[in-house]
Amino acid sequence: MNFADASRAGSADLFVGRNQDLDRICDQLTAPAGGVLLLSGEPGVGKSALLDAVARASAQDGTQVLRAAGAEFEVDVSYSALNQILLPLHDALDRLAAPSREVMSIALGFEAGPLPKRLVVCNATLALLRAAAKEHPVLLIVDDLPWVDRASAAVFGFLARRLPSNRIRFLSASRVGANSFFDGTGLPSYELPALDAESAARLVDLRFPELTHPVRHRLLDAAQGNPLALLELPVALRADQGYARGILPTVLPLSERLQSLFVSRVRALPSPTGRLLLLATLDDTGDLGVLSAAAHIMDGEADLRDLDPAEQDGLVRIEESPRRLVFRHPLIKSAVVQYATSSGRRAAHRALAQVLADRPERRAWHLGEATLEPDEKVALLLERTARRIMDRGDAVAAIAALTRAADLSPLGTDRARRLSEAAYVGAEAIGALQNASELLEDAWRADPGHGTSLRSATAAVQLVLNSDGDLETAHRLLVGAIEEGDHGYDAEDPALIDALHFLLLLCNYGAREGLWTPYYAAVSRLRPTPPPLLLVAARTWGDPAHTDAATLRGLDEIIDTATKETDPARVVRVGTAAVYTDRLSAVREAAWRLVRQGRGGNPVRRHIGALLHLCLDDYHRGNWAETLELSEEGLTLCEKSGYSICTWFFQYTQGLVTASKGDTDTAHALADAMTNWAAPRGFRETVHCALEVHALADIADGDFDGAFNRVNVISPAGTFPPYVAHASLVFFDLVEAAVRTDRRAEATAHVRALRRTNVAGLSPRLALLAAGAEALVTEDEEQASRLFAEALSAPDADRWPFALARVHLAQGERLRRSRLLSASKAPLTAALKAFQQLDSSAWAERARKELRAAGRVVDHPETRSAAALTPQEREIAELAATGLTNKQIAERLFISHRTVGAHLYQIYPKLGIASRMALRDALHPPEQT
């Protein structure tokens, strides 16, 4: 049996990413001129696991496996390792000639006598193995070779150079750079590398699927592909940290197994070396100048030459350009911190703070770690540092600085204020809800009267909304904090502006006037003037249907800056302002940047917000596969982070796609789930979104009466009620359903009300639907024809394939019902083609039935031409034809590489090809001669 096959059959997750390594080991051991291999690698890299795999496979293949492992406590016991490995052959000693049998019995400790000469033992051992190999092939496996005693190491070295091929083989494992009595000069060797990034991620996902993206990223970064670290680091975390509900420490803790590997190596170093490594760990820049200066402060006789033992042991290396110290593995830093005493760590921090006097942020942090007693000066430095860090978008570091500042605050009021700030950042920026809850409790204990502060109130509202609390309670709590605060309605107060942005969301979720009144009152009192984004968002969310042109121009100016915006919160807020004005495509690049950062381990809250906007934009653009993919990613993030308040939105985008594709059972189930969650909590906007999904599914099923009744709840026919933002999104559904159920008066009244709004001025897509709705109710055929033509000729109308196809279908249905059969075929054919490309089965069947009624025979042909591609499929195909990879295409189009692959999977059959190589000719067929 092949070694690799048998080992992989053992435990798949243990050998993730190791197939090539197993093959290389097995090829060397079974090669005609091979049979010997010295395996080496860093601690925890998986050497022993591979030895076990080879042993298991060899035994299954009929080979006798003899094993030994070096042990530190036996390193001075001669032939102790040889005794281990040959013990199973004790009964075979009788096959040896008397002199050899006597030598082996004494060497292995079975008989007393003077210790025989080493060469005699070597020859006797070889004779014993040859005798055993006559019955079965023999494999010698020696683990932890550096701890093998001198006498045994000499025998193993002798055997490795003289083993007969095929029947006897030798495999050993040792730590890279470790000193050993074994002389492996000239013998075949292989250094086992760390796992590559993809394999490391797969191993973590197999063993710890519950880890959230930020925690997963941090662990992968710390483990650097070391399998043992990947499997053990999560074990050392608290449960709330694994779910990203608690803040991870700066230096990750080690499990007991990792401590045995790394801390023991640090413990063996001289004291001056250990102090230098501690300084290097806490400074974390590798700057040798800083390290030398701090070492002299701690120990006037310190010298950088004291790093030599750590270099010799392979713990660190010195890079020459620029000259700096680099740890061989991040976990060595964890071991250094874990081994150091608390007083030693504080002394190192004090020394670093003195050296870094000209670098305020780093000095503040070191002072905070070095200080035991409350100290307002240090606390204030840390608080200011936290604000600068937040400006860079590093919320995790800001929380750490704020909580340390709180710990050092002499007064309860200052402690409560800083803890509340940290709680707010935790809840709002990174989704660390459990940690935020604990910080708030600490703040209230420090100062019971601090509960109405803006930061504590906003953090508390987040906790209320993501638990079983209702919107009314959350709104009341936040409004109270705003109205009772001592901010003086200063438009430059970040806590006040953040609170108002969050209150804006609550007002939208509630979709009723009573919630908006205190919001508008607060915004009107801001001095000197409200921030432009807050003012624009208030108008586009409070009553988008009546948004004026000046507000839209202001929004466009703000959106233009979003691509260069570095503040994740502002990026999401700009996207929020763009939702009802249908401008999400303009912030797509910035949103993808946040998603990529989130996947890389950045805070989950902004990751979720960006996904919300991408999902909705993808739906309107016809990128339905990506909508479903990103929605699933969002749902997973919500579940793992505890951000349940956002779950309904991803159900909404899933519901839009499934209803539009004709999977109406799924769509109705998703809408029911949204309503069941939202209705008891007072989230009327969520209920409106659910009603839209129900209505789309009803239309797909041909139940226009049901669709009208649902949409009429959102926006009663003839009205676009203020504070009901969703009214600007469902007017076409209402008009179409009213026309199809002979509610002409309601349809006409709604179009008349539509004209009194600025819905058509919000975006080209909404203008397309508005013109289509007006054409539906117009009695005059000539005017209807003009309106449909106006709608369908809108610039870039094909950017919204589903909306365009619905208007084509409406035009064709009207023409067919007016007996203009010939004229109806073109729009109906265009609608059918678009629905087929979108895989919108129910809607395609509706267009197909209309075409049959118009007298055209319609089959279900396989469209196999470039013309059958959607605009995005065409763009992807063209890029793929140039040789770009899926990842490169995804980066250009701001979609995921998996979505590119899904599109190509659909493109190939449409073009009648089977591979990427045929794309160019399929897209641009050579001219026939």
Nearest Cα to Cα of residue 385 among 411, 407, 404, 408:
404
Chain segment 722-751, per-residue pLDDT in tens? 999 999 999 999 999 999 999 999 999 999
User: Is the distance from CB of 430 to CB of 214 less than 8 angstroms?
Assistant: yes
The identity of residue 605, as a single letter, is R
Residue 176 dihedral angles phi and psi, to the nearest 5°: -60, 135
Q: 195: pLDDT confidence band, cut at 50, 70 and 90?
A: very high
CA 619 to CA 583: how far, in whole Å? 13
Which position has the higher pLDDT, 670 or 13? Answer: 670
From 370-384, 501-515, 857-871, 880-894, the region with the lowest mean pLDDT: 857-871
pLDDT digits (tens, 9 = 90+) for 822-875: 889 999 999 999 999 999 989 999 999 999 888 876 655 444 455 567 777 888
H helices present in 284-329, as ranges: 288-298, 308-312
Confidence of residue 427 (pLDDT cuts 50, 70, 90): confident
Lowest mean pLDDT, pick from 66-80, 530-544, 572-586: 66-80
Question: How many CA atoms, within 13 angstroms, populate the side-chain half-sphere of residue 20?
Answer: 9
Residue 488 sits at φ, ψ, to 5 deg, of: 65, 20
**What's the pLDDT at 120?**
85
Average pLDDT over residues 468-492: 89
8 A C-beta contact, residue 839 and residue 802:
no
Least confident stretch, 71-85, 141-155, 157-171, 900-914: 900-914
Query: pLDDT at position 432, please?
Result: 65
Reply yes or no on whether the pLDDT at 13 is more than 80: no
> Which pLDDT does position 929 carry in this prediction?
37
| Closest of 43, 62, 52 to residue 25, by C-alpha | 52
Q: What is the pLDDT of residues 756-801, one digit of tens each?
A: 999 999 999 999 999 999 999 998 888 999 999 988 987 788 899 9
Tokens of 271: 């004291």
Residues 310-323, mean pLDDT to the nearest whole number: 85
Per-residue confidence (pLDDT) for residue 734, from 0 to 100: 98
Q: Which residue has the higher pLDDT, 116 or 504?
A: 504
Res. 507 pLDDT band, cuts 50 70 90:
very high
Q: Which two tokens stand for residue 495?
A: 């806590």
How do 138-143 and 64-69 pair as beta strands? parallel
- Read off the amino acid at residue 556: D
**Neighbour-count burial of 114, counting CB atoms closer than 10 A to its CB (0-12 exposed, 13-18 middle, 19+ buried):** exposed
**Is the sign of the CA dihedral 108, 111, 113, 119 positive or negative?**
negative
Does 898 score more than 90 pLDDT? Answer: no
The two beta strands, 323-327 and 168-175, are unpaired
Both tokens assigned to 752: 């008349």
Answer whether 331's CB lies under 8 Å from 254's CB. Answer: yes
Dihedral sign, CA of 180, 181, 184, 185?
A: positive
Range with the lowest mean pLDDT among 538-542, 601-605, 635-639? Answer: 601-605
Output the pLDDT for position 399.
84
Residue 103: which pLDDT band, with cuts at 50, 70 and 90? confident
Share above pLDDT 70 across residues of the chain, in percent, rounded to a whole number? 93
Residue 917's pLDDT band, with cuts at 50, 70 and 90, is low
Residue 567 has pLDDT above 90, yes or no: no
- The model's confidence at residue 105, banded by pLDDT at 50, 70 and 90, is confident
Please give, one letter per residue, the 3-state secondary structure of 614-667.
Answer: HHHHHHHHCCHHHHHHHHHHHHHHHHHHCCHHHHHHHHHHHHHHHHHHCCHHHH
Q: What is the pLDDT of residue 451?
A: 52
DSSP SS3 for 794: coil
Q: Confidence class of residue 893 from pLDDT cuts 50, 70 and 90?
A: confident
Confidence of residue 383 (pLDDT cuts 50, 70, 90): very high
pTM of full prediction above 0.75:
no
Residues in the chain: 929
- Radius of gyration over every alpha carbon of the chain, rounded to an integer in angstroms: 35
- Out of 110-114, 395-399, 836-840, pick the least confident: 110-114
